[in-house]
A and B are shown apart, each in its own frame.
Chain A
Amino acid sequence: MDTFLQQIINGLVLGSMYALVALGYTMVYGIVNLINFAHGEVLMIGAMVAMSVIALLADASLPGWLILLIAIPVSMLVCSSLNFSIEKLAYKPLRQAPRLAPLITAMGVSLLLQTLAMVIWKPNPKPFPQLLPIDPLDLGGPVITVTQLLILLVTALMLLMLMVLVNHTRLGRAMRATAENPRVAALMGVNPDRVISATFVIGAALAAVAGIMWAANYGTVQHAMGFLPGLKAFTAAVLGGIGNLPGAVVGALLLGLVEAIGAGYLGDLTGGVLGSHYADIFAFAALILVLTLRPSGLLGERVADRA
C-alpha cells in the first residue's frame, strides 16, 4: 500500500509539471490553432537559465531558497521574452499560410533552440544544484521531498493565478473571446496580436517554472531534456481536450499518475517482459488512443462536423 501511495505522490508531482507545460500548448492551440512544437524546449531553456543564474549567485552567500527565488523570475522573464520574439519572427508571418508551414517552422525552432542550448551550455548533462533540503519528509509510509512539496504548491499557485487572469481580467476576457471567434473578437476591439503575444508569454512563463522544477526534481539538465516532457504534456493537453484549460490540468495529472503507477508496476504486470523503460511510450500510446477514439478529449466539446 505504501508503494502505491508513493506512486500516487510521484504521479501528482509529475502531473503538476506536465500541467504547467500542457497549459501553454492548449492556450496557444486554442487561439492560433498551432501545435507549438518548440514549447518543450522552453522548459529546457527555463531550467538552463535558472542553472546559470544560480551558478552566478553561488558565491553570494545567500540562502538556497533565496537564490531559487531570484532564479525563477529571471528565468521566466528570459523564456517569456524568447517566446515572444519567436512568435513575432517565426509564427506571425505564417498565420495565413497553409497548415504545413507553421508546423515545419515550429520544428525548425525546436531544433534551433536545442542546438543553441548545446552551444551555450555544452551538450553534456549537468547537475542542477540542490538548493533545498534533500531529506524527505516522512508522511507515515510514503515520503515526499521538500522539492516535491514545493512543486505541488507552486503549481497550485500558478494555476490559481492563471484562473484569476483568464476569468477575471480584461486580458483574460480578450483571450477567451479570441479563442472562441477571432474575427468577431477583433471586431469588438480586441487586438489579436496582443492576445496572441500574451498567450505565448504566459505559456513560456509557466513552462520555465516547470523546467526549473523538473531540473530540481531530477537533478540534471541537458539540452534534450525538453523533448519528452513536451510531448507528454501535449498528450495531456489533447487528453483533456485541446483548448480547454481545466482539461489540460486534468489530463496532465491523469497522465502523471498513469505513468508513475505504470512504471512502478509494469514489470510485475507483464512478468518481466516489459520493463519500466517502456513507460515512455505510454504517453504515445495514450495519445494515439485518445486521438483515435475520442479526439475531443475528456473535457473537450463534441463539435459537430459542419461542412
Chain B
Amino acid sequence: MSLLEVNQVSKRFGGLQALADVDLRIEVGAIHGLIGPNGAGKTTLFNLITGLYTPDSGQFSLDGKRYRPQAVHEVTKAGIARTFQNIRLFKDMSALDNVLVGRHIRSQAGVWDAIWRSRRFKREEKALREQALALLDYVGIESYAWHRANSLSYGDQRRLEIARALATEPRLLALDEPAAGMNASEKKVLRDLIERIRADGRSILLIEHDVKLVAGLCDRITVLDNGRVIAEGTPDAVQRDRRVIEAYLGA
C-alpha cells in the first residue's frame, strides 16, 4: 500500500489548465522526485497536496484512507510537512524558535498551562527545547540555535526550514526545490541529509531542477509537462524516455 496516492487530479486557474488528470504514487520509505520544465505544474501539485489549493477534480488517499487536503494546518496534522521554494522562515525569530514552532502540533500546553506555569507546562517546555536542539543538530546547525533566522547563510536557512518541517513529525516530507542556489558541496550535504531522513523512516517528495541530484537520490520520478504526467519510473527509465528529453529540450 502506498503512502500517498494522487488520482486524476486537475486544477484550473482562470484560463490556464495548470494540472490535468495527474496521478502520483509515493511508496512508504521512498524518495520520490517531481521534475519538469518551468511552468509544468510542479508547485501547483505540491500546493494541492499540502492544502493550499483545492483541486477541481480528483482524489487523494493517505495510507489507503481517503484524504481531503482542505485546510493547510490539517494537512500538517495528518503527517505531511513541506518547505517552500522561496524559504519562508520566521525571520526575526531565532532558529530554535523556528523549530519550536514546528513542534506546535505535537505539543499540548494551552493558555492556562502557560499562565499558571503548571508542572506539565514546564516539563513539556524542557522536552520541546531538547527535541528542537536535537533537530538542529540533526541538520547540522545547532551552533546557530540562538541566532535570528534571517542572519543565517542561505544554505543554513534551507536546512533550518527542513529541521522545522521535521519537527512536525511528518510521514511525508515535501521539499520544494531544496537545492536551489546551492553549490556542489552544499548539495552533497543536502543529499546526505535527505538520505538520512529516509533512513530514519520518512518518505520524501522532492521538486528539483538539478537532474543529477534527482537521479542519484530518488527511487522513482514523476515528470510533468504542461500540467500532465508525461513519464513515471526509475531515474534511468525516465532519463532515457523520449518524451522527457523532448520536453526539456523542446521538440
Contacts and interface: CB of A to CB of B under 8 A. Distances in A.
Interface of A: 304-307
Contacts of B43: 307
B239 interface: no
B247 interface: no
Contacts, number: 9
Interface in B139-176: none
Given A304-B13, A305-B52, A307-B53, 6 more contacts: A304-B14, A305-B53, A306-B13, A307-B43, A307-B47, A307-B52
7 contacts: A304-B14, A305-B52, A305-B53, A307-B43, A307-B47, A307-B52, A307-B53
B52 to A, nearest CB: 5
Contacts of A307: 43, 47, 52-53
A57 B195 CA distance: 84
Interface string B1-43: 0000000000001100000000000000000000000000001
Interface string B39-60: 0000100010000110000000
Nearest to B52: A307
A306 B41 CA distance: 13
**Closest 5 A/B residue pairs (Cβ):** A307-B52, A304-B13, A307-B47, A304-B14, A305-B53
A305 B53 CA distance: 8
A306 B46 CA distance: 12
A3 B156 CA distance: 71
A305 B14 CA distance: 12
A305 B47 CA distance: 11
A306 B84 CA distance: 13
Contacts of B14: 304
Nearest to A304: B13
B236 to A, nearest CB: 33
A304 B53 CA distance: 9
A62 B18 CA distance: 68
